[in-house]
Structure 1
Amino acid sequence: MPPAATNYEIAQVCLLVGKIMLENGGETYRVEDTMSHIAEAFGIANSHSFVTPTGIIFSIDGPEQTTRLIRISSRSTDLRKVTVVNAVSRRISQGELTPNEAYALLESIQADQRRYPLWVQMLAAAIASGCFLIMFQGAWSDFLPAFVAGGLGTFALAYFHRLVPIKFFAEFLASLLIGFIAYLSVKTGFGHNLDTIIIGSVMPLVPGLLITNAVRDLMAGHFVSGVSKGAEAFLTAFAIGAGVAFVLTFYPGKGF
């Protein structure tokens, strides 16, 4: 019979679960709920977690009281990892995994760096941009300019984010490129309606998941996380708007 797991080992599993979920687009209330369920499945009746977008505090009450803090330094969107971690959580709840087995499995999930290739992301963004243009009642003749601007905008976002770790500047430069391509397409007669081309092309950059998570956290009573994510979404929207506005100042009839 394997020795009983220590509070430290259980806390390690809970923190790693929370870290993976939070770094890949999980909502704050879902992270806390999952950590509590895992601790309970391992026999910990009294556990407490405090989750913010930049850190997780997890504590276990009792004679061997354990309190751990982990820092969240980067966040992205990979809902596949969130789904896989949820599956691990269910296996833990069903008693199929020990803390050591669960931790090893979670480490492999965290180390998995599989992503869609950049060309696939560009193609998906390009198609989505053209479809958004049509959804916003744009002309089919502008589908190709939006297709090109949306795809190159996604490439620019990934490229500039590697050069400049600050996401705000990468989003600003990507939207600036989208605005310039849209303006150039209209200027050369390749496109016709500047507004719909720009609107369709910037949609892949809009922080939809971030806004959704911010609202859901606020509704669940997690005001610190909700306001923080809302502020991050606002900065992203401001960066996109500033890049487009900079281009529009040089477009006759559309400037400020």
Structure 2
Amino acid sequence: MNGFLEKYQTKGSKDEFIHEVAAVCVLTGKILLQNGAETYRVEDTMNRIANSYAVHHAQSFVTPTGIIFSIEDHDVTQLVRINQRGTNLRKVTEVNTLSRRVAQGEVSLNELYQLLRQIDRSTVAYSEPLQIFAAAVASSCFLLMFLGKWQDLLPAFFAGGAGQAGMIYFHKLAKVKFFSEFMSSIVIGMIALLSVRLGLGIEMNKIIIGAVMPLVPGVAITNAVRDIMAGDLVSGLSKSAEAGLTAFAIGIGVTSAMMLG
């Protein structure tokens, strides 16, 4: 891999190359962090890419809201702010696959930057109608998993789909964190309550439990635990707090629906 650096040294543009490597590493970390990757995975991937291009002694510090990347012995430090985070494991997988190709020397620096830009600009993996349908099917399956009645299958299906649709709509309506989860839970609670009162469902609790499962921050909770176990206490505790507030918003939303009903 030293060939990369030697090539730029002969051109007298070593500093430019170092800055380009730092920019590519930061872009890699940004994509991973915005799409649900763990903190240690983000830091490890950034450092491995830098080492693959013979830029050693790279240091990275990642929190849920920002990335700091620095290269020792060089006047190179970059900071990027992370304002939006979600879950798109497809992008995480694509970046991981790309980093392995880089480690094997199959991708040049310019090519890597272009590929990362394509991944970053790509839209969501699945359309909104498909997300709503998948949430509806998952809600029905969760209902059966929690030993719900077969008569509650259809109410859970519609409640789960309506909850996901509300999640998408309210997130577009207001970018306030936890607002979409709160409003979607109200929608789910009202549908469950209405279905039981109309005789379409039997156990309201099971319908609600099945329908809210797609809203539960499972990835955030898992990443929080893994970050804490890996020693990234700042990221782990902040993600735990975020997941706890999301669960709190879901609970308050369901309770509000019960009170309104």
TM normalised by structure 1 equals 0.95
Distance 1:16 1:149 in 2: 39
Residue in structure 2 matching 1:205, options 215, 220, 228: 215
**Structure 1 residues 157-172: aligned runs within 5 Å:** 157-172=167-182
AA partner of residue 77 (structure 2):
T
1:79 aligns to 2:89 (yes or no)? yes
TM superposition shift of 1:88: 1.1
Instruction: Could you tell me which runs of 5 or more consecutive residues in structure 1 were left unpaired when the two chains were aligned.
Output: 252-256
TM superposition shift of 1:167: 2.9
**Structure 1 residues 116-195: aligned runs within 5 Å:** 116-195=126-205
- SS in structure 1 of the partner of residue 36 of structure 2: coil
Determine the structure 2 residue equivalent to 1:57.
68
- SS in structure 1 of the partner of residue 8 of structure 2: coil
Distance 2:55 2:123 in 1: 32
AA partner of residue 85 (structure 1):
V
- SS in structure 2 of the partner of residue 76 of structure 1: coil
1:18 aligns to 2:23 (yes or no)? no
Determine the structure 2 residue equivalent to 1:254.
none
Q: Say how many residue pairs are matched.
A: 250
Residue in structure 2 matching 1:66, options 58, 67, 76: 76
Distance 2:8 2:111 in 1: 13
1:237 aligns to 2:247 (yes or no)? yes
1:217 aligns to 2:217 (yes or no)? no
Determine the structure 1 residue equivalent to 2:45.
34
Paired residues of 2:90 and 2:125 also in contact (CA < 8 A): no
Determine the structure 2 residue equivalent to 1:47.
58
**More displaced, 91-100 or 43-52?**
91-100
Distance 1:96 1:50 in 2: 27
TM superposition shift of 1:164: 0.6
Distance 1:148 1:109 in 2: 33
Determine the structure 1 residue equivalent to 2:107.
97
Distance 2:195 2:120 in 1: 42
TM superposition shift of 1:161: 0.5
Residue in structure 2 matching 1:3, options 1, 8, 24: 8
TM superposition shift of 1:23: 0.4
**Equivalent pairs: percent with the same residue?**
56
Distance 2:240 2:153 in 1: 32
Instruction: Could you tell me which runs of 5 or more consecutive residues in structure 2 were left unpaired when the two chains were aligned.
Output: 1-5
TM superposition shift of 1:183: 0.2
Distance 2:20 2:260 in 1: 60
TM superposition shift of 1:101: 1.6
TM superposition shift of 1:250: 4.6
AA partner of residue 32 (structure 2):
M
Determine the structure 1 residue equivalent to 2:3.
none
Paired residues of 2:64 and 2:239 also in contact (CA < 8 A): yes
